[in-house]
Amino acid sequence: MSNKKDCKIYTKGGDKGQTSLIGGKRVPKYHDRIEAYGTIDELISYIGLLRDQDIDENSKNILITIQKNLMICASILATNTEDGNDKLPKLKENDIEYLEKEIDIIESSLPELKLFIVPGGHISVSICHIARNICRRAERRVVYLAQNYEIDNNIIKYLNRLSDFLFVFSRKLSKDFNIKEILL
């Protein structure tokens, strides 16, 4: 076991505007890879905030699963692809199918939607919409990154499906809190 004095949170390695990818390669903090996994990290935090709301236990468990999968996405994106890392967990097709199943379950309990929804009406609904927007930004960052680096396509598919999930989840929350959706 290491001495607690040796395990400091700060390394001072980033003081000159660079950071390390998993594998040790140093890149600027504005690197496309850092932007992509940093946006996913932001999304993980907002989903945590959503999970901390007064919502049902099943929904909280779904959100924990999503957070764990997003952490897998972030770790994959934080890895120097030239080195690779077979020890990291992978995002699987059934992780995407899990989201699709949850979307179908939620949608079956909601009225059909033919118009746009104006976000808001309850703090939990608003947080969900913010998370959806961050998810879409994360997806754009990863798609951009994939133009120059080999990126696991399951990450892009997962983010795309997650934004759909967050949309229907916001509608579920409106229903759960008896909030009238404002349609446009």
**CA–CA separation, 55 and 62 (whole Å):** 11
CB 17 within 8 Å of CB 28 = yes
Task: Judge whether residue 84 has pLDDT over 70.
Answer: no
| Maximum Cα–Cα distance across the chain | 60
Comparison of pLDDT for 80 and 82, the residue scoring more: 80
**CA–CA separation, 9 and 143 (whole Å):** 31
The domains found in the chain, sorted by start residue, are 29-78+94-108+117-183 (1.20.1200.10)
pTM to 2 decimal places: 0.89
pLDDT-based confidence at residue 83 (cuts at 50, 70, 90): low
Lowest-confidence segment of 20-24, 115-119, 159-163 by average pLDDT: 20-24
**CA–CA separation, 156 and 161 (whole Å):** 9
The per-residue pLDDT of the chain, averaged, comes to: 90
Task: Judge whether residue 7 has pLDDT over 60.
Answer: yes
Average confidence (pLDDT) over 96-124: 95
Three-state secondary-structure class, residue 100 = helix
Sequence-separated (6 or more) residues with CB below 8 Å from residue 132: 163, 166, 167, 170
Across 23-58, b (16+ Cβ under 10 Å) vs e yields: eebeeeeebbbbbbbbbbbbbbebbeebbebebeee
Q: Which two tokens stand for residue 43?
A: 């999304």
CB 91 within 8 Å of CB 159 = no
Task: Judge whether residue 86 has pLDDT over 70.
Answer: no
Three-state secondary-structure class, residue 183 = strand
Give which of 49, 26, 13 is closest to 128, Cα–Cα. 49
Lowest-confidence segment of 31-35, 75-79, 93-97 by average pLDDT: 31-35
pLDDT-based confidence at residue 3 (cuts at 50, 70, 90): low
**CA–CA separation, 3 and 34 (whole Å):** 30
**CA–CA separation, 135 and 31 (whole Å):** 19
Task: Judge whether residue 131 has pLDDT over 60.
Answer: yes
Residue 81 pLDDT = 63
Average confidence (pLDDT) over 107-117: 92
Task: Judge whether residue 19 has pLDDT over 90.
Answer: no
CB 174 within 8 Å of CB 121 = yes
pLDDT-based confidence at residue 25 (cuts at 50, 70, 90): confident
